[in-house]
Amino acid sequence: MSERIPKAMAEKFAAVTALTDAFCARYLDEEYRLLIHRVVGALARKRPSPLSSGKENVWAAAAVHAVGRVNFLDDPSQDPYCKPKVIYEFFGIAESTGQNKSKAIRELLKMGQFSHEWMLPSRLADNPVVWILQVNGLMIDIRTAPLELQRLAYEKGLIPFIPSEPPGAEE
């Protein structure tokens, strides 16, 4: 994580991520674990942090669900695959509680199927949603655009990397 967790939230961050780590070890993978840590870390750095109120197991379930929702975790064609019911049962919370808190996280962090910041890195390159941009009123797949346009889109934060260049070349 590039930004540090404030001291006041370090204990809450540790408690929530200990719970999410246990879930990831059983049902998900390391890539999900790291992304969920990013979400919980982003929540811990908010001023005031929403984590300062509420139970750790609720925040843990909601963070897992929020990341899962963005990455289609409940789609049986995906690997790993997990139904929301399994998440809520694991953390011992009601589905409505988890859904509401997950929605709050997604709204607060602007998480959605179009936000590449919250997608699993392994899925970015193959996700067409990441690469469709509006240019001069037309929707285009930026991967087919000239390199100059790809670089501009990257500089503006519209795409996660420049598809025509090797990874790391844009830094």
Question: Where are the domain boundaries for CATH 1.10.472 in the chain?
Answer: 7-117
d(CA 140, CA 159): 13
pLDDT at 166: 61
Q: Which residues contact 28 (CB under 8 A, 6 or more apart)?
A: 64, 73, 80, 82
> 2 is written with which tokens?
């590039």
pLDDT tens string 2-58: 468 989 899 999 999 999 999 999 999 999 999 999 999 999 999 999 999 999 999
What are the φ and ψ backbone dihedral angles of 110, each rounded to 5 degrees? 55, 50
> 104 is written with which tokens?
């709050």
Residue 156 pLDDT exceeds 70: yes
61: three-class secondary structure by DSSP: helix
> 110 is written with which tokens?
């602007």
CATH number for 7-117 (one of 3.20.20, 1.10.8, 1.10.472, 1.10.3470): it is 1.10.472
pLDDT tens string 93-115: 999 999 999 999 999 999 987 68
By mean pLDDT, which of 71-75, 81-85, 158-162 is the weakest?
158-162
